[in-house]
Structure 1
Amino acid sequence: MLPCPFHFGSRRSFLDVSTGKSIHVRILDLYGRHHLFGSTVEGLIVLCWQDTLAFQLLNLLMGQRTANLPRVTTTERAIRDFGVGSAGLTGNSMVALHYGFGYGIAVARPGDKFWTRLHASGRSKSAMSFAGRFYCVTSENILVVETTANRRPQLAVAVDFEPGNGFGYNDELQLVDNGGELILVHLACHGHPDNTFFSGKYTTYRVRLDTRSTEPMHGLCGRALFMGTSRSLSMRARVSRSMSEDTVYMCCDYNKVSGAPNSVLAIDLLGRCFGPRTRLQHCPLQLGR
């Protein structure tokens, strides 16, 4: 869904990231009765009813909702600060949330009384649904939510990283659906001199779930990647003449020095050039929290 400058009354503009075509859909006003979390890179909005604190997932484009999920056991004030980085289905009608500033994982089915919290061995840096399963990544491995019948849900290792791979605790690691292929984007973070952006080396890896391994890849297979603070979105570069192939667009909510909103740093993964820091009047993708 494109941001407010592209809206027409109650109709919202949606962009197809594969074809570049847009449609306009009438969206009901969700404020007043709900707390809104998200959006997620999967295209879902996480809702929390203000009166019951029960959760739902909403597909804005289709207007479909899940049945009520368990309420959260917290205060009304705390729920306003509840952060959701991602949400999706894990199979067997189970929903997974990647939530909080510690990036925890919790799962539940409609009708359950409680959420089940799952614990990773390290800090979960990003998470997403892919091919009907829910994955998260730490600096040590890629984990998947297992929902075997008659067993408590758990996080299982899908890929173990090689020792000494160079993934630091403070580095950015994000899982991305790159046109139907699961990839891992690694940013070795270093403070930028003006404290406006993190700068460093970007590396992309193809995730081989069949061999439980990763392998370096060259660029993004001709696609463009918009990377935010908690999630990323890959799209065909041909969607817009303003995009370049095999380029990462690092999106920031604002420039800490100038206060300018919607700042973007373009980084060419093939080493042809480094794009300038740019202020976009209307950033097409708002990926930060």
Structure 2
Amino acid sequence: MSVTETVGQTPLEAASPFEMRVDLGKDVPETDVRSALKSGEIGFLHSFTTGSAVDGPGIRLVAWTTSCMFRCQYCHNPDTWTLSNGIPVPIEKAKEELRKYAPGLKAMHGGFTLSGGEPLMQSRFAVRLFAAAKEMGIHTAIETNGYYGDKLTDDELAYIDLVILDMKAFDPVQHKRVTGMDNAPVIEFCERLAHLKRPMWFRYVLVPGLTDVPEEMDRVAKFAASLGVVEKAEILPFHQMGRYKWERLGLDYKLAATTPPSNELVAEAVAIFRNAGLVAD
């Protein structure tokens, strides 16, 4: 099946990023995949969603990429870990989606956010899409774990108005416990953004029994505050909305018995970040 046929058969828009999507790009030849990653001519997307008020300032159009190097225990979209689960979308088709919503996004003081998965696994596609958005006068944001920040040059970072950094942990041991990987590249990317004075938001997922460690949250908060470019921190309470995906994909879900954090626990976490001098909610 050709890329054109796949895009034509699968709706780009989804009602929610929690919608399960698999194998949508599995028939794309490996040589085409490698070429797409190198050139950015094609991106592999879970979907576009509209009307988001939580993925950057204002009302946002969000494109959700597939492929991620982390294996976060609390991930609510494990179907986005694999590149071949995404719809292969030519860059011109993706630009059409942006163009369609551009007037409304500007009128609502919103913009375009590229999320994932991990968008920088498809850095060339991301850069081309952000450049197109800026040409249309749209505010741009990326939601990233920061691990592959070095894939973007300083000039390419200028296409991104806001970096929303999903900070998993500060301590390397805790980071590996949560994600399965080291966090040195993440710390380096944050420090680079600070040096370039690029605006950031920090996000921290609060998971009882996993990330609700006061000392760790204090270290994350103080690190964020030290950068001088973090405009706010968002504490995201853990939820079970993605549990069904783990089950359908046959993955070992270690948090099946974990409940969402109490209001009191969320308030305590928010207080830690505020005490570090950050705007937090």
Query: Does the alignment reach a TM-score above 0.5?
Result: no
Rg: which structure is higher? 1
Larger helix share, 1 or 2? 2
Larger strand share, 1 or 2? 1
